[in-house]
Chain A
Amino acid sequence: MYTQSFNVPDAPIAAAGPREIKPVLTPEQQQAMDRAQSQFDRVIDADGKIEPKDWMPEAYRKTLVRQISQHAHSEIVGMLPEGNWISRAPSLKRKAILIAKVQDEAGHGLYLYSAAETLGTSRDQMLDALHTGRAKYSSIFNYPTLTWADVGVIGWLVDGAAIMNQIPLCRCSYGPYARAMVRICKEESFHQRQGFESLMVMMQGNAEQQAMVQDAVNRWWWKCLAMFGPPDADSTNSTQGMRWGIKRISNDDLRQKFIDATVPQAKVLGVTLPDPDLKWNEARGHHDCGQIDWDEFWATVNGNGPCNKERLATRVKAHENGQWVRDAALAYARKQQQRLQQQQEAA
């Protein structure tokens, strides 16, 4: 659901592993390598797809592992802010919808972990990177969900921003990632629509309910704009991502699309977007908007947002509490396997 369309470097591994030593290649090996590289370039230039067993440059592989695993972590951590409201949902209907949505997020995480695993990283390695705080996830989840209106706003705006980000990823040059994104995008529309509809119901309620929606919009709007990542001028990774067909549309262009799409929706809902500089620019054919607070954004990315510690601690605790279940299931499967073998040998 929620990619942040920039690729922040994960923290380095504390105890550095063996240093990467570049092997000395024989002229034949070098030639084979050059051939593989030019074959790869041809596929990329022709807008083709790279599949798991195809040769790919190490940097391409590394970038994808980082981006896909960050994306997967975001889906998994993204369950926490909304999960907080499952037991507090205002009706059985809203509760059932929210459970279904949170379950989708778990599914999205799984599709993405599977896609990353095709690149030769293990599930446990990725989870370890998340749990030790080495791997990043989308910063948007490091903010609290204070009221029920936050759940609606997350669906409408956060998922809405994610959809803008994710649709171009369906055309990503790496096959397994693109296929996972197609599946995810199909399910994402439900998330956005359920959020918007739940806000519409609240906006038809009393003044207090309407104020609750406006307050949630005020708190989430700027965070959602920041989800698209730093301005193009500051996005050094983007050029390479574009060259490789991993990134298709620039951060600023996606952000603009999101703003233009959201302004009329806010009007229908009857809320104000909290930006005095937000206005239609006839000459550009787009909305202009105010300045995003990037210092606040980077502080959150770097671990100092309001909920970073809580989110990670909850995630680690859930993983540790589930350890005996994973061990028991594996022990049971091995025992069954042994029994079957003994029976076959006896027969």
Chain B
Amino acid sequence: MSQTDNVANEWPLWEVFVRSKQGIEHKHCGSLHAADAQQALHMARDVYTRRQEGVSIWVIPSAAITASDPGDKDTLFEPAKDKVYRHPTFFVIPDEVGHM
């Protein structure tokens, strides 16, 4: 079997997100290979929640994720750099106002 055949027959890759308890967001915890979504869910349960780490799981085909390029980091996030006034601590408020 050549390398390309191998990859073609490899189960697709899925990204796994687990909600640890009600009220908390789903958090990325890793990835796994599975033939389809249902199998990916079952495997995610066995691989990532063996110790009751979750109450809900999302699985998403890794290929479906669009990611920003780390090389573009500086330009992509540049617009936020000079807007320190978005932080509350930018504004000096007299002490007697108390908590605001």
Contacts and interface: CB of A to CB of B under 8 A. Distances in A.
B36 A333 contact: yes
Contact of B11 (A53, A100, A114, A326): A326
Contacts of A179: 30
B81 to A, nearest CB: 18
A338 B10 CA distance: 18
A107 B50 contact: yes
B34 to A, nearest CB: 8
Contacts of B67: 53
Interface in A239-292: none
Interface stretch (A70-78, A119-127, A132-140, A220-228): A119-127
B7 A122 contact: yes
A111 B36 contact: no
Given A104-B50, A107-B50, A111-B30, A128 B9 contact: no
A337 B36 CA distance: 9
Contacts, number: 59
Contact of A122 (B6, B36, B46, B47): B6
B27 to A, nearest CB: 12
A53 B10 contact: no
A187 B51 contact: yes
Given A110-B32, A114-B32, A333-B35, A123 B70 contact: no
Contact of B47 (A110, A326, A330): A110
For chain B, what secondary structure do more than half of its interface residues adopt (helix, strand, loop), or is it mixed? mixed
Q: Report, as a range, how many residues of chain B touch the other chain.
A: 20 to 34
Q: Report, as a range, how many residues of chain A touch the other chain.
A: 20 to 34
Contacts of B11: 326, 329-330
Given A54-B70, A107-B50, A187-B51, A114 B31 contact: yes
A119 B72 CA distance: 20
Most chain-B CB neighbours within 10 Å: which of A114, A187, A337?
A114
Interface in A148-207: 179-180, 183, 187
B66 interface: no
A183 B67 CA distance: 24
Contacts of B39: 329, 333
A117 interface: yes
Interface string A311-347: 0000000000000001101101100110000000000
A51 B73 CA distance: 13
Contacts of A183: 29-30
B52 interface: no
Interface in B1-52: 3, 6-7, 9-11, 13, 29-33, 35-36, 39, 46-47, 50-51
Given A51-B70, A327-B9, A330-B11, A123 B33 contact: yes
Contacts of B29: 183
Contacts of A327: 9
A236 interface: no
A116 to B, nearest CB: 11
Interface in A91-147: 100, 103-104, 107, 110-111, 114, 117, 122-125, 128
A128 B1 CA distance: 11
8 contacts: A55-B70, A110-B47, A111-B30, A124-B7, A326-B35, A329-B36, A333-B35, A337-B36
Closest A-B pairs by Cβ, 7 of them: A329-B35, A333-B36, A333-B35, A124-B6, A114-B31, A53-B70, A330-B35
Given A122-B10, A332-B35, 12 more contacts: A53-B70, A103-B50, A110-B32, A110-B47, A111-B47, A124-B6, A124-B7, A124-B9, A183-B30, A330-B9, A332-B36, A337-B36
